Structure 1
Amino acid sequence: MADKEEEKKQRSIDSELKKSSSVSKDASKSHGEILKQQITEGQATYDRKPISLLLSSITAGLEIGFSYLLICTVFQFFSGVISEENSYKLISLVYPVGFIMVILGQSILFTEQTSLLTLPVLNKKRSITSLLKIWGLVISGNMIGGYLISFLLMWIGPRLGIFNLSTVEKIALHVTEFSPLVILASAVLAGWLMGLLSWLITSSRDTLSRIVIIFIITAMMSFTGLHHSIIGNVEVFSGLVSSDKINLLNYLNFQFFALLGNAIGGAVFVALLKYRAFVSNIDIK
């Protein structure tokens, strides 16, 4: 009996999602239309071949490195001109560049995809096991890409004279100076914002609007110092391999709590709440 009720409820949800559509091309997308599009996009990602997902994820990890390149360059350029505290605020203006490249270029970034990939599970189209597998693949690809771009930037930066390894060390220490609980809570907020970013990108209809949305969300993350696991991976890994002040435990501690917090933020505070808000308004037929 319980199974039949569950099936009946799911049919009602699917039916309501199918009917969701905006009035015209100029009208704002409804909650249901955005949700339907997010679920469709999420399922399309599940249907991709593992090698395609891995390569796209590695690409995202590489491309996010351009934000790190600008972060280090701006920090070094203003070193001695303004205080370090002000420099960390200033880099929020260049922090979004890598995210714009990744998101508009359709590469797969874990934090931007977290809520997107959770929605098909909530809609009972995919299993939790398949979600964890695809998360693992995407995270692995993002981190591999981050390692590769990190080595390249640490080699080219000093040779171009745009930043030195002292800057790399300072940025890594700035990211890891907090307790695990603070990093976790900070990462939850960052994951929440990235989930909202994905939702807002889906709601927007033109490229310029999407660029503005990406800039606002990611600049806010940088200005407030919230922890993002993928660009943070590049920041802390670079410190790990270039400075004796960052050890493997520092890196693993940061990466674990940042990934966990980002996952919770996107999956719970965006995917679950947005989905339940829609479902709670449906009458079972």
Structure 2
Amino acid sequence: MSVLKPKDIAKVFSDSAFDKNGHSTARLLVLSILGGAFIALGFMLAILVAGGSPKLAANNPGLKSFILGATFPIGFIMCVIGGGEIFTSACAAMPMPLLRKQTGIGPVLRVWGLVYAGNFIGGLMTAWLFTQQTGIFPEGSAALHTLIHIAEHKVGILPEQADEAHFWVTFVKGMGANWMVCMAAWMAYSAKDTFGKVIAIWIPVMTFVAFGFEHCVANMYVIPAAILQGAHISWTQFITDNLIAATLGNIVGGFLFVGLAYWFIYLKKEDEKLDHKQFSAVNPEGELIKK
């Protein structure tokens, strides 16, 4: 059979996360820097294509959103096919072996911390080296205007956002974004060929981008890139008005809607049976003890 069933995906998804505990710090960091750079390159492409069509945006904003979403997933595809670590998918994957009592909270936080740092480095590197230094968004161009507009919207400084509960909105958008991203990672495991993996990744990632949801790793590129290109956004605003809320939303969305949900559906009963077999002896006090 060319497609894995959801229950089999759950096992592979959990096992792959458990294996990350054995990765060295250097290996995790390099994979994460690549992951952050890949996501940034995908965002660059999306802005260049969708943002370079101002008449399209004015006449058909829905189509512009679709084009933005349709071109963005190239970064995620490179991560999965080529190799790279992304913090957001780790939000669903890493808690699964924790829920299965195969690891502790320490290793989970270690992987999260290293991947988050590496993604940040990759995003900043791409913003400076491949955006600012190349002049890919020329002064006065429609693409540059789109880049800055996206960043300003993400930190909530546009006039139409004056009455918005921005932190909460960003948090909820972060939940939705990472539900889709983690579903992309989950569905990619179902396919055994490259084309199948590409389609599995493309559909949910395109969806969250077209919705305008918040992805902390993507924001590690787009907001710094806008700042370096002259946007009226401070680094403090970037952290406090977007990155914190987006990150927290991504953690909750990935864990709640994918990691926890699919552990409960496909693995919980199986894990309980294993626990019962391992702890089926009883001591004189009536407590279960390991065989």
How high is the TM-score relative to the length of structure 1? 0.83
Change (3 A) 1:275 1:171: same
Q: Does 1:29 align with 2:13?
A: no
CA contact (8 A) 2:127 2:225 kept: yes
In the superposition, relative to structure 1, how do residues 211 and 271 fare at CA in structure 2: closer, same or farther (>3 Å)? same
Matches within 5 A, 1:1-285: 26=1, 28-83=3-58, 85-86=61-62, 87-152=64-129, 153-156=131-134, 157-158=136-137, 165-177=144-156, 179-252=166-239, 253-282=241-270, 284=276
Quick check: 2:88–2:182 contact (8 Å CA) kept in 1? Answer: yes
Show structure 1 runs of 5+ residues with no match. Answer: 1-25
Moved more, 218-227 or 164-173: 164-173
Q: How many Å separate the matches in 2 of 1:241 and 1:67? A: 18
Relative to structure 1, is the Cα distance of residues 27 and 92 closer, same or farther in structure 2, using a 3 angstrom cutoff? Answer: closer
Count of matched residue positions in the alignment of Structure 1 and Structure 2: 260
| Secondary structure of the structure 2 residue equivalent to 1:149 | helix
SS at match of 2:246: helix
CA distance in 1, matches of 2:182, 2:123: 21
| Bigger shift: residues 248-257 or 144-153 | 248-257
Q: Is the 8 A contact 1:76 1:162 kept in 2?
A: no
C-alpha distance in 2 between matches for 1:27 and 1:56: 28
CA–CA separation in structure 1 for the residues paired with 2:250 and 2:122: 18
Q: Distance in 2 between matches of 1:70 and 1:31?
A: 32
Return the offset for 1:245.
Answer: 2.1
Which structure 2 segments of 5+ residues have no match?
A: 278-291
Partner of 2:286: none
Report the CA distance between 1:160 and its aligned residue.
11
Q: Percent identity between the aligned chains?
A: 23
